[in-house]
Structure 1
């Protein structure tokens, strides 16, 4: 942490205070204070959104699986189980692109379509997620979660970030 740029130090200290540790992703992104500020800003804003923590973790797991990001799969498997209280069957369903919860299933399936089609989805896809009970704001949040998680997936894949959570790999989904 001490080797990060001076401008990143207060942000890393805030992460340390909130999480009790500074995961390697944050240490990596801290090399660019602007990138760290942007990541923490969007991530923090989305935690105040309308989607519950469980749905946010479900989306993160599905997107990490699609992008083959072992760091994010490891982190979100840990966070999903320990903070969002998702069970092993739910986590595996999320990695397969769905959910055992009917409403969350619509959100995860929509997120998967957005990620796989790089945003080029159909009106029917939007209608389906809205029919499941998501409003326009929540649909936008789902897309933002896909974007944010895709960004972290790419950063970790490019940097080959050392995994500092119990290791889960994309190849482990059946």
Structure 2
């Protein structure tokens, strides 16, 4: 059971409505997580302010692979369900690849480096090794991409913490729980 009452659709503060309308348009429904964050237009706006620009630099499959790895590492079952859904439906990632992403891996070498890096950032609290850092650079990611990966990983960490702390009810098709 959620530790915070999640506003019903249409009950969120007016300042949150534009972001909620965009999410609803993209997914076809308004998930509990966004309605929860809408309680604080500042928190929702901060999340959207980071997510918007970063989504223009890293491709959707890479972003979703990173989200799955981070959510698995943080044991966030809500985010695993949400990102498994988005990965399958919007990014068209096959189930085998979703399973690899959850483990911090990918069948694509360049994407593998990004997904493994995101997992390593969580597991080391940002104190990745020289080898982990070099692995991302060696496959062609730029310094700007690496900074974006760190920012995106922090954004996923935010949503993981939000959903784990509040115990947000899962409103996506459930997936196997995290092993973390």
TM range (shorter): over 0.9
Match of 1:146 among 126, 131, 153: 153
Is residue 45 of structure 2 the alignment partner of residue 29 of structure 1? Answer: no
Equivalent residue, structure 2, for 1:58: 65
Matches within 5 A, 1:111-150: 111-150=118-157
Q: Which residue of 1 aligns with 2:172?
A: 165
Would you say how many aligned residue pairs link Structure 1 and Structure 2?
172
**Alignment-derived partner of residue 13 in structure 1:** 21
Q: Note the residue ranges of structure 2 that are not aligned, 5 or more in a row.
A: 1-8
- TM-score of the pair, normalised by structure 2: 0.90
Q: How far 1:2 sits from its partner (Å)?
A: 2.3
TM-score by length of 1: 0.93
Deviation at 1:172, TM superposition (A): 6.8
* Root mean square deviation, CA, Å: 1.5
* 2:55 matches 1:43: no
Q: Whose helix fraction is larger, Structure 1's or Structure 2's?
A: 1
Q: Which runs of 5+ in 1 are unaligned?
A: none
Q: Secondary structure at the match of 1:2?
A: coil
